[in-house]
Amino acid sequence: MTYKKISFEVKDKVAMVGFGYNCDKAMTVLDEETLKELQDIVEELHGKTSELDGVLFHSHKDRCFLAGADINLISAMKTVSDGQAGAEAGQKIFNRIEDLKIPTIACVHGVCLGGGMELSLSCSKIIATDAKGTMMGLPEVKLGLIPGFGGTFRLPKKVGLPTALDMILTGKTLNGKKAKRAGLVEEIYPVERILEYAPKHFKTKAKKKSFKDSLEEMATDNVLTKKIIFQKARENVLKKTKGFYQAPLKILDVMEAGMLKGRTSYLAAESQAFGELCVSDQSKNLQHIFFMVEGAKKYPHSTGAELPKLERGACLGAGTMGGGIAWLMANNGMKPIMKDLNPAGLELGLKQSSSNFMGAVKRRKMSFEDFEKKQRSISTQTDYRGFPRVDLLIEAVVENMDIKKKVFAEVEKEVHPKTLLTTNTSSLSVQEMAQALEDNSRFAGLHFFNPVHRMPLVEIIKHDGVSNETIEALYNWVLKVKKTPVVVNDGPGFLVNRILMPYMNEAGFLIEEGVSMKDIDDACLNFGMPMGPCRLLDEVGIDVGQKVAKIIHDGLGDRAKSSSLSGRLVEKDFLGKKNGKGFYLYDDKGKVTGANPEAQALFPKASKKMTEVEIQKRIFLPMINEAATVLTDKIVETAADVDLGLIFGIGFPPFRGGLLKYADSEGLERIQEELNKHAETVDKDRYTPCQLINDLVAQKKKFYEL
């Protein structure tokens, strides 16, 4: 029998089953056809056990063993029983692999995730390569799912319950070396040798357990300790997810209840849970984000034109942002030049970069030697030495149009003709700044969020003169440094800050109306936001927020007006986290120690009790309204751009799928109705629904159907 998706051959009494055969995609997935072929092959193997020494599963791809089940397959599931049946079909095949009478060995090289991992677990042994790209894990939880092909049943048997829970509940992956340490793989080899050495593992017996291992096993392998482990895991999950996510809790339910079950009844529970989760709103939303992120991995308007190579970097201004950007460049081998006016400024930048690196050193993600190499790859200077060699320059000097224009007019003469020149402005007009340059086709905004090493979003801001190649090169670069790009047109606050502004403004108005700061922040946290508006303003800097608010107000008119609250706080020098006092008080390490009583004395007495839902409406309705005008003004092209920007820019709760996805799911008619109601009772400027919402309601359409 010949197969199209999987290669199958028998050599010297060894059956070789190879994935990624005849596949031109970078990643091989278990789609319908592949699963079918796999099933046939396994049955064929069952008929040949007497003539075979063993079976090797391997991959023809250089970077992928099996990336998991095809997500399109999962997202096509409409009902619980659909999902359950899908999981059962996979389970059956893997059970048949497990039941083979001859040894089976998964030879893992490259990505081995989800269904690929579950297949490996059903083999008698796993061996792996020591390659950097070899990673094994069960990331289903990130899509709001439970591994459905027996992963939760088999992984604990290989690596023990604590490690298995850690992997399944967080979705984290292990490389070859770590997988060996965890007991997941029996041995690691260089990729060139793995298939040659694999047959030796047909006969190896499980290694004698070390004293430490058997002690550990004794301690964990009894019902009582397992109960405690599950309880701890549950507490951790609740702490980390604040209870917003169903999948990890469901996983815990299945695994805990299945502790004493046999394979058949355990797997039935697993597939049942998979069916329930895969059609849940949460999982659908998380899948939606997965597809959005996948979609963003390619620049949509590529013309195939040759792009400038961005090898050497430079950053002007060495403050918190400048230092963060220098860190990013250094971490990506760009040997950046960091320029500032004086050594004191440069030291600030070095400090920022060092603290970013040291975080990784402390978490043992980086050796001190690597840190030293990378930190020292930053050239610190006050002159333009080396600038003719720079390919990508990011400006992060003070937010002042005149100064920035002067800087660009000057630096344009120092760099080579193809150097991309970008500004990290968060609020100034890129269109206007572009006028300072002679050749502004290579100029654009490149807006990082603070802190650079934590925030995944980068806004790429266009202006009339910019070339498509410039945007494409920047887009690719942002992806290369593992951030998420969103291309936006120029406008006050660009994309994220513009939609974020009502979040902060409405908090101000609510406080003025006598609603307590705590109620406001709590309502937003309970909605799923990572920080309440008051806490967020402290983080950004209340003075910075005030400045940006003014620019957006000037640009957008009275619907973006803000209360006088920020002004009063700034007057008293309550600037937020940076000077330890804002809405809240902070200790030396930047941790909140409590509300700031002096600031609260400036507010009206907190006398008004408002329901959590009403506070949420007050805050999120104008955000939805603003997001709609962003689409009208063509700041971005699609609703997905808005949602991607907000999820990665401000941590809008992923389980809601994004702001506009959320609006769509609530129903635009209801949104319009609520906006109108608030326009009457609260403020006409801020709540009158925009034209786009009215139009969509009239046409019975959604944001995602635009």
CB within 8 Å of 374: residues ≥ 6 apart: 330, 331, 357
Rounded CA Rg of the chain: 28
CA torsion angle 511 515 517 519 (round to 10) = -150
Q: With contacts defined by CB under 8 A, name the span among 46-54, 373-381, 525-533, 572-580 that binds another protein.
A: 373-381
Report H helices in 76-173.
80-98, 115-122, 151-159, 161-170
The size of the chain, in residues, is 706
Shortest Å, Cβ 392 to another protein:
16
Which member of 207, 309, 373, 609 binds another protein (CB under 8 A)? 373
Q: Write down the least CB distance from residue 385 to another protein, Å.
A: 5
Nearer to another protein, 273 or 346 (CB): 346
Pairing mode, if any, of strands 14-19 and 187-189? unpaired
| Of the candidates 364, 485, 498, 370, the residue with the CA atom closest to the CA atom of residue 427 | 498
Rounded distance between C-alpha atoms, residue 227 and residue 243, angstroms: 20
CB 474 within 8 A of CB 325: no
CB of 331 to another protein, least distance (A): 14
Q: Which of 4, 209, 376, 454 binds another protein (CB under 8 A)?
A: 376
CA distance 377 to 24: 38
Smallest separation (angstroms) from another protein to the CB of 80: 54
Q: How far is the CB of 373 from another protein (least distance, A)?
A: 7
By CB under 8 A, tell whether 370 contacts another protein: no
Q: Which stretch binds another protein (CB under 8 A): 18-26, 95-103, 208-216, 379-387?
A: 379-387
What is the secondary structure of 477-511 as a DSSP string?
A: HHHHTT-EEEEE---TTTTHHHHHHHHHHHHHHHH
Nearer to another protein by C-beta: 270 or 412? 412
Q: Tell me whether residue 355 or residue 468 sits nearer to another protein (CB atom).
A: 355
Binding string to another protein for residues 630 to 669, with x set by CB under 8 A, is what?
A: ----------------------------------------
Q: Which residue has the tokens 């950053």?
A: 315
351 touching another protein, by CB under 8 A:
yes
Output the smallest distance, CB 658 to another protein, in A: 38
Closest by CA to 316, choosing from 403, 376, 377, 402, is: 403
End-to-end CA, the chain: 48
By C-beta, is 112 or 392 nearer to another protein? Answer: 392
When asked if residue 379 is in the footprint of another protein (CB under 8 A), the reply is: yes
**Interface residue with another protein, options 389, 405, 418, 550 (CB under 8 A):** 389
Give residues 317-346 in contact with another protein (rule: CB under 8 A): 335, 337, 343, 346
- Considering only 75, 95, 170, 355, the residue that binds another protein (CB under 8 A) is 355
459, 469, 472, 539: which is the annotated catalytic residue? 459
Closer CB to another protein, 272 or 356, in the complex: 356
> Between residues 350 and 444, which has the closer beta carbon with respect to another protein?
350
CB of 349 to another protein, least distance (A): 9
> Residue 516: what residue type?
S
- Between CA 480 and CA 695 the distance in angstroms is 39
- Map residue 188 onto helix, strand or coil: strand
Least distance between another protein and beta carbon 346 (Å):
6
Residue 359, interface with another protein (CB under 8 A)?
no
In the bound state with another protein, the residue whose beta carbon lies nearer, of 389 and 453, is 389
Question: 485, 481, 483, 303: which is closest to 392 by C-alpha?
Answer: 481
- Residue 423's closest CA among 463, 398, 396, 449? 396
Asked whether the CA dihedral 582, 587, 592, 597 is positive or negative, the reply is negative
We find the least distance from the C-beta atom of residue 374 to another protein, in angstroms, to be: 10
370, 377 contact by CB (below 8 A):
no
Q: Does 380 bind another protein (CB under 8 A)?
A: yes
Decide if 595 contacts 583 (C-beta within 8 A).
yes
Q: How far is the CB of 352 from another protein (least distance, A)?
A: 9
CB 493 within 8 A of CB 503: no
Q: Is 468 one of the binding residues for another protein (CB under 8 A)?
A: no
Look up residue 581 and give its DSSP letter. B
Q: Does 388 bind another protein (CB under 8 A)?
A: yes
Taking the least distance from each CB to another protein, the nearer of 362 and 700 is: 362
Give 56's strand partners. Answer: 16, 105
Tell me which stretch binds another protein (CB under 8 A): 1-9, 92-100, 377-385, 629-637.
377-385
Element (H, E) at 66: strand 64-66
459 is catalytic: yes
* Residue whose CB is less far from another protein, 244 or 384: 384
Q: How far apart are CA 552 and CA 542, in angstroms?
A: 15
| Of 95, 236, 302, 354, the one binding another protein by CB under 8 A | 354
Segment contacting another protein by CB under 8 A, of 149-157, 182-190, 235-243, 372-380: 372-380
Check residue 372 for interaction with another protein (CB under 8 A): yes
Could you say which of 377, 450, 676, 688 contacts another protein (CB under 8 A)?
Answer: 377
- Output phi, psi for 129, to 5 deg: -95, 160
Q: Which of residues 299 and 371 has its CB atom nearest to another protein in the complex? A: 371
Catalytically active residues are 459
> Using CB under 8 A as the criterion, which residues of the chain lie in contact with another protein when the complex forms?
335, 337, 343, 346-347, 350-351, 353-355, 358, 371-373, 375-380, 385-386, 388-389
